[in-house]
Amino acid sequence: MDPDTHERRLARHHLRMHRKTLWIIAVLLVTTTVLGLAALLLVDLRVVRIGGAKIRDPKGRTYDCILVLGALVYGDVPSPMLKDRLDGALEAYRAGLSDRILVSGDHGRADYDEVNAMRIYLEEEGIPPEAIFLDHAGFDTYDSLYRARDVFEVHSILICTQRFHLLRAIYIADRLGLAANGVDTAYRRYGRDTWYEVREIPARFKSFLDCEVLHSPPTFLGETIPISGSGLATRDE
């Protein structure tokens, strides 16, 4: 046999095997992507369905506390999104839905403090300092609600945040056994509303894993600070 012919046949064989391998890899990648997207969408639907079913008129009952979930602050000044959450909490407090407000956010660094910015805003609006509880380790929504239950001994909770976030927050609260309701505080547009909606899809999937698969602990727990006591116990000054 001509050596050149043999080498050409081997080359064609290797080329076919290479193409077959690439085809298998491509099929696997497409299949994995489709299955992953399907899982994301199914979980998203589950979170929206469970969270949405729990949102109702908050009036007509009282709650252990009103929860304000943290968002961006500029020094001691709440961002527009966080200001709207705080204003929703003020309205609920003044309507007598609870006599306690729990502000939960990121205070993991000395130079960034969401919770004291929220406290200052509420105090300037006339809320008594002892009625404001500070959760300095609410690093995400799951941590905030887990700690509300286990650190602050909350059983019923009224959550103040924008609807795209509220659906996930109430889902988490429900999975953690909290009697939860919510107030949609989307009083304006924030300039990146579509991005916030899209970002919720992976965030809801993470919440599903935390709540129903991994049963994850929060980043920090610590000693209990009953919501029935005084918020002054939560000060870090």
Q: How many domains are there within the chain?
A: 1
In a domain, 83, yes or no: yes
In a domain, 29, yes or no: no
How far from 28 is each of 23, 31, 33, 40, 167, CA to CA, in Å? 9, 5, 8, 18, 34
Q: What is the pLDDT of residue 33?
A: 80
136: CATH: 3.40.50.620
Domain of residue 122, residue span: 54-234
In a domain, 163, yes or no: yes
In a domain, 36, yes or no: no
Q: What is the pLDDT of residue 4?
A: 61
In a domain, 43, yes or no: no
In a domain, 140, yes or no: yes
Provide the residue-wise pLDDT of the chain in tens; the chain has 237 residues.
455 676 777 777 777 877 878 788 887 787 788 778 888 899 999 999 999 999 999 998 999 999 999 999 999 999 999 999 999 999 999 999 999 999 999 998 889 999 999 999 999 999 999 999 999 999 999 999 999 999 999 999 999 999 999 999 999 999 999 999 999 999 999 999 999 999 999 999 999 999 999 999 999 999 999 999 999 999 986
Q: What is the pLDDT of residue 217?
A: 96
In a domain, 12, yes or no: no
Closest CA relative to residue 54, chosen from 187, 166, 153 = 166
In a domain, 20, yes or no: no
